[in-house]
Chains A and B, each alone.
Chain A
């Protein structure tokens, strides 16, 4: 049994994410701070909310994020959760978690923003989260910003929305999806299962 934690920033809907993890066989706790010792085999930063309030809610704990996951706890950041991995975001003024070098920038206004709906994955390279996922699989996006990593090696899949939008990133124990796997039907289910497999090890 894999025991996971979802960090709740206070505003987001985490029911679907929790439900999809439980369906995949995990037990899930919802936590709102890092005050208690980390007993989890994986941590999820969910995808609904705004950058500054979410970062503030993560930073207020006695133990900081880096300390909490320093034993290489796998972390899956979804949408805003992935954006928080970076150093800063055009959505807010707060500093990001800074575990991946780069920033988060707004989508070009030449396209409809938010980028909302089903789009294809263009798989760039193999990755743990993408195992068993076919190129051009459909996933559900809903976002207004994109990540811009300094080291492009971290990007394992992109999506085309007029420009290339990094869709999946992997770096060390940090995994991120710009789309919502918990809302992406069977393809999303595979990725959730892949993350659980990473956590088991």
Chain B
């Protein structure tokens, strides 16, 4: 038996509540994070990801309590990210019970924090989250891809998709692997919330560019989207939110479906 593909429900947390948006905007309420965590854990989720999208630093301090509460009700691994800027932020999350810390904007602003985290807590704790968006304004020094006759490159966005960086996602992925990331959480901004499937070009290219595990994210609307991302890109894990939050499919139902389609999963 080889390693199974991981199915990861994602909980975007804002001011202590789980929320869900479209293209990172128009947010609505989806429930209590601790209750949802326990439910997904019991239903057979392989891991959980919490992204704190709370706006202000003041409100974000409550994340520590949330991490402790979640850690005490589940017995599967979980990652907490959102607003992590420093080693101290990461330490606060890990010492309160998270298994991994997700870092995104903070890593772009100060890439060394990836190495510092890796040295202190080990590579397995460090998840670099990359928000990627197709850019059709072609430039010489970027990795160019094409789909349906259109050419584009993948640009890294920060601050929850609000700010472009002109950094090439492929290059950034390779760099974070070198710096000590244990895993990459790769989100397509173009696909986020659309429910029409993962960005297969993006996922495939990044899987092929690095040797650390890749979590595909953004666009999952049905179990077949997961089947496609595993078959077409060899991603290690698939993250989804809406299909779990709104009860369209339970975690167990999704995994049974995947197994029927010959995707190795833990049941």
Contacts and interface: CB of A to CB of B under 8 A. Distances in A.
Nearest to A143: B124
B120 A183 contact: no
Given A13-B97, A136-B1, A182-B75, A117 B124 contact: no
A19 B124 contact: no
B182 to A, nearest CB: 6
Given A113-B211, A188-B75, A49 B122 contact: yes
The residue among A20, A48, A117 with the most chain B CB atoms within 10 A of its own CB is A117
Q: What class of interface size applies to chain B in its complex with A?
A: 20 to 34
Interface string A165-185: 000000000000000101111
Interface string A19-60: 110000000000000000000000000001110000000000
Given A183-B76, A188-B75, 13 more contacts: A11-B120, A12-B121, A13-B125, A19-B71, A20-B75, A48-B121, A49-B122, A112-B213, A113-B211, A117-B3, A118-B4, A136-B1, A160-B2
A93 interface: no
B211 A112 contact: yes
A2 interface: no
Interface of B: 1-4, 6, 41, 46, 68, 71-72, 75-77, 94-99, 119-125, 182-183, 211-213, 236-237, 266
26 contacts: A11-B121, A13-B95, A13-B99, A15-B95, A15-B96, A16-B71, A19-B97, A48-B124, A49-B122, A50-B119, A112-B211, A116-B213, A117-B4, A117-B236, A118-B46, A138-B266, A140-B77, A143-B124, A144-B124, A183-B76, A183-B77, A184-B75, A185-B41, A185-B75, A188-B75, A189-B75
Q: Is the interface of B mostly helix, strand, loop or mixed?
A: loop
Nearest to A118: B266
A99 interface: no
The residue among A112, A113, A143 with the most chain B CB atoms within 10 A of its own CB is A112
A19 B96 CA distance: 11
Interface in A76-119: 80, 112-119
A13 B123 contact: no
Contact of B71 (A15, A49, A120, A144): A15
Contact of A16 (B99, B119, B182, B266): B99
A113 B211 CA distance: 8
Contacts of B182: 114, 116
A164 to B, nearest CB: 12
A69 interface: no
Contact of B236 (A12, A112, A119): A112
B121 A119 contact: no
Q: Is the interface of A mostly helix, strand, loop or mixed?
A: mixed
B72 A114 contact: no
Contact of B76 (A114, A140, A160): A140
B150 to A, nearest CB: 31
A148 B13 CA distance: 43
The residue among A116, A138, A183, A186 with the most chain B CB atoms within 10 A of its own CB is A116
B94 A13 contact: yes
Nearest to A13: B94
Contacts of A11: 120-122
Nearest to A142: B124
A48 B96 CA distance: 14
Given A16-B97, A19-B72, A120 B236 contact: no
Nearest to B46: A118
A161 B68 contact: no
Interface in A126-164: 136, 138, 140, 142-144, 160-162
B4 A160 contact: no
Given A50-B119, A112-B212, A117-B236, A183 B75 contact: yes
